[in-house]
């Protein structure tokens, strides 16, 4: 896994974040199965419920480009320790990759590696009888 490349892409995406309210800029870089790296940054809105997190932005960009299989994600913030994805992002990522490697980093070079399964052990699941996906499917 080339975490350095993903952190670099996420750091550059973070610089483009639109965060006039929180001043909390976040960048993400999502690695797809074919080696494509999809960047994302947070985009705030004065109606906070409409904000888009960097991780979900990266997922949306990847899906719009035709990708459905993800191998890893790097997330860059300027907090110490580095911030992990929020609950909404964790839920979104589990839709595609239940055990995704997640690297969180900050601008000081601190890094922590996690597995999505550890960060989000009990994702929402539709009942199978309603045509839903199971945790492992």
Q: How many CB atoms lie within 10 A of CB 127?
A: 8
Count the helix, strand and coil residues of the chain and give each as a percent rounded to the nearest 5.
Answer: 30, 25, 45
Q: Determine contact, residues 104/82, Cβ cutoff 8 Å.
A: yes
> Which residue of the set 15, 44, 55, 118 is catalytic?
55
Residue whose structure tokens are 């839709």 = 95
Say whether 55 is catalytic. yes
Angle at 109 between CA 108 and CA 111, to 5 degrees: 125
Q: Which residues are catalytic?
A: 55
């Amino acid at each position: 896994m080339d975490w350095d490349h993903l952190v670099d892409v996420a750091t550059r995406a973070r610089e483009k974040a639109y965060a006039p309210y929180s001043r909390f800029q976040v960048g993400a870089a999502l690695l797809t199965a074919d080696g494509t790296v999809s960047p994302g940054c947070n985009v705030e809105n004065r109606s906070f419920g409409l904000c888009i997190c960097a991780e979900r932005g990266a997922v949306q960009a990847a899906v719009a480009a035709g990708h459905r299989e993800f191998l890893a994600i790097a997330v860059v913030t300027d907090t110490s320790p580095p911030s992990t994805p929020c609950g909404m992002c964790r839920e979104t990522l589990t839709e595609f990759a239940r055990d995704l490697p997640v690297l969180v980093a900050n601008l000081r070079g601190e890094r922590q590696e996690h597995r999505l399964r550890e960060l989000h052990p009990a994702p929402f699941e539709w009942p199978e009888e309603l045509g839903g996906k199971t945790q492992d499917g």
